[in-house]
Amino acid sequence: MIIDTHAHYDDEAFDADREELLSSLAAAGIGRVIDVGSTRESLPKIRELTRRYPFVYGALGLHPDEVGDLTEETFAGIEEGLSDPKILAVGEIGLDYYWNKEARDVQIEAFRRQALLAIRHGLPIIIHSREAAADTLSVVRELYGPGGPGAALPRKGVMHCYSYAAEQAGIYTRELGFFLGVGGVVTFKNSRKLKEVVAATPLEYLLLETDCPYLSPVPFRGKRNSSLNLPYIIEEIASLKGLTTGEVEAAAEQNARRLFPGIK
């Protein structure tokens, strides 16, 4: 079974054909999907998707570009949703210094606060980090490194759409116990750094994701993405690691179930 650990089917890009598309996934071997929060408006939509589709699970949180909306009311709504067994994580949360839509200190505080919420509830986090390598690692080490409040958690989280160097990948995986999310970018010709990371990282730390409707793999780069494109990502990972696609698919499923045991 293929599990898409990071999708955004709540996005308006799917308004015209969401039902048809989601209903087609099982026949293509896509057995489970985690729809991940980003905006305040996305949160109730994700809850509705998880109620409507048995194979859709959710994560609740605010993307760093949206943390200006992290009011006490919104925070309380996120926390209330974590009691739902189909909500498997807090995310996507983190830091984005590329767009810098929110002040960096505001982003860091929102990241820490949402991560601490996940720790209190024993849930993993889904981290978005763009051009914020040092500060992201600093927060993660503070909270999940030795002596941190999340150090003892058996399931810590995933670095979504991992984009940093192999050295940091080793810190996140082997030192801190995080997974790396690998999506369509790994198929791009200019993604040499990510290809090196995937080749060097033990398969037990890799998760499959699309980030749909964004980041379609080759040969659909620039078009709307969906979970139907995951086989292209699997093929690239298999090629980079000298494995069969079946081996990658099976390991990725096992990894997803390890991090998100609520997947049935």
pLDDT higher than 90, residue 100 = no
Averaged pLDDT, 155-166: 97
| pLDDT score, position 124 | 98
> Which domains, from first to last, does the chain contain?
2-259 (3.20.20.140)
pTM of the shown model? 0.97
**Mean model confidence pLDDT for the chain:** 97
- Four-CA torsion 219, 222, 228, 231, nearest 10 degrees: 40
Q: What percent of the chain has pLDDT over 70?
A: 100
H helix intervals, the chain: 18-24, 42-52, 72-81, 104-120, 133-144, 166-170, 192-200, 230-241, 245-259
Query: Using an 8 Å Cβ cutoff, are 180 and 169 in contact?
Result: yes
pLDDT of residue 199: 98
Pairing label, strands 87-96, 56-60: parallel
pLDDT in tens, 169-224: 999 999 999 999 999 999 999 999 999 999 999 999 999 999 999 999 999 999 99
Which secondary-structure segment (H or E) carries 222? Answer: none
